[in-house]
Amino acid sequence: MGFGGAWNGDALVEGDVARAEAALDAALGAGIAVLDHADIYTLGKAEQAFGALFQRRPSLREQVLLQSKCGIRFADAAGPKRYELSAAHIERSVEASLQRLHTDRLDLLLLHRPDPLMQPAEVAEAFARLHRAGKVRFFGTSNMHAAQLQWLGRHLSLPLVVNQLEMSLAQHDWLEAGTTFNDPQAMASPRAAAWPGTLEHCLAHGVQLQAWGALAQGRLSGRLPADASPAQAKTAALVGRIAQRQGLAPEAVLLAWLMRHPAQIQPVIGTADPARIRACAQATAWEMGREDWYALYEAARGRELP
């Protein structure tokens, strides 16, 4: 979502395409070959930037796994900001993404946010039509918990293969849900209430967990905000010490912490900076030990475990 310039109606410019090219070349050089888009990112210009790049260098399309998301609609003349997972909207969104990306298919389509008015059977029909037409190979979700995945999955003929959630050392409610559920500390994390069973459901059903916000907007790897909490400051300092000891970039430590989990979490890195992309790739060179993992977890949560 950092590509395509500003979130406004300005046209895509050559600098936007050049920035996408530099980032993609850095990613491919580091072994990263999954592109995570959404129809709303910079109001469609993020997809346009990569579409222009695919036109110039057609061979790039076959080197990447291309996923996009749909379901969020911004306020317009018809209504307020809303979520829509009607069959018509899903299919319209895919057609528009394919046109912007200058490709004939998406490897993955994710439903961006749960729509309270969603009819699972209708979603299933849209998925089936898109798959039969060769426009989408696989399907998944974003920001859905276990019960929603089960409800939707019962209506689908095609399996959900990805669930993308906010997961990072800074946002660790997904861990709190399992480690504090039977302890008074659980009351301190209301967001964790939605998590019980979600990781386990994904593991049991072969659903790849993708972590958005995996780098915590840089708050723990060099851009500590002025109003940081004591826990954030302590965590950032510990990340720095571990990075120095291991000879790694701080970003690699953050991702290695996520990837150490048995769920084999796939981090989605939001940076467009080629140097930072290369730094992130260092995470695959080291498996974090239990002691470092728990030390970071304790620092981030601000107190010891129950």
Give, as one character, the DSSP assignment of residue 80.
S
| 200-238 residue pLDDT tens | 999 999 999 999 999 999 999 989 889 999 999 999 999
Name the residue type at position 80.
P
pLDDT band at 188 (very low <50, low <70, confident <90, very high): low
Count of Cβ atoms closer than 10 Å to residue 118 Cβ: 18
All structural domains of the chain, each given as residue ranges with its CATH number in brackets, are 1-166 (3.20.20.100)
| 71-127 residue pLDDT tens | 999 999 999 999 999 999 999 999 999 999 999 999 999 999 999 999 999 999 999
Entry pTM: 0.94
Which residue shows structure tokens 């993609």? Answer: 24
Short-list 155, 63, 161, 76, CA closest to 111:
161
178's CB contacts (< 8 A; 6+ apart) are 195, 196, 199
Instruction: Give the integer Cα–Cα distance in Å for 241 and 251.
Output: 12
Question: Are 52 and 14 a contacting pair, CB within 8 Å?
Answer: no
pLDDT band at 190 (very low <50, low <70, confident <90, very high): low
Q: Which of 26-40, 112-126, 183-197 has the lowest mean pLDDT?
A: 183-197
**Residues with a known catalytic role:** 41
Backbone angles phi, psi at 142, to 5 degrees: -140, 135
Which pLDDT score, from 0 to 100, does residue 192 have?
A: 60
Backbone angles phi, psi at 267, to 5 degrees: -70, 140
Count of Cβ atoms closer than 10 Å to residue 298 Cβ: 16
Taking the mean position of all CA atoms in its chain, how far away is CA 220? Answer: 18
Q: What is the dihedral of CA 132, 137, 140, 142, to 10 degrees?
A: -110
Give, as one character, the DSSP assignment of residue 116.
T
280's CB contacts (< 8 A; 6+ apart) are 30, 32, 215, 249, 251, 252, 255, 267, 269, 271
Helix (H) / strand (E) containing 34 = strand 34-36
Helix (H) / strand (E) containing 136 = strand 136-142
